[in-house]
Amino acid sequence: VEKDKLIIQIELSKKGKSWAEIDATDVKKDTDLLSSCVAKNISLEAELMRLQSFNDSTRDLNVCLDLEDDARTGFPSVSDGKEVDSVEAEQMEKEMEHSFLQDQLDKELQELDKRLEEKE
């Protein structure tokens, strides 16, 4: 973010603004915007990783259940566990959503704590 702040200041000086004008401008607002974009990017990457992990675990669960059915009956199952799978998948999805929302709230709380410390 500091690098981006310097880039913004250099661009403003190239446009002919004096350093006094640059210091008086809303460079802080621009850097705050960059910081929020970086934070949003990090949270989106974390969400993507969680969803990919959830997708992988769901796929693994389905493979395990199918193999278990095959071993028990000797034949591949067609629809025996599909309703159970969908209920379990819904429960896992709700848990993942809850976990994601909790993480988002934790991050927002940390950001608010940082802002409060800066103001103090």
User: Whole-angstrom distance between the N-terminal and C-terminal Cα of the chain?
Assistant: 22
**Does position 42 have pLDDT exceeding 80, yes or no?**
yes
pLDDT digits (tens, 9 = 90+) for 63-120: 666 655 555 555 544 455 555 567 777 777 778 888 888 888 888 888 888 888 887 6
**Which residue, 87, 10, 61, 42, is CA-closest to 2?**
10
Amino acid at 93: E
CA-to-CA distance for 56 and 45, rounded, in angstroms? Answer: 16
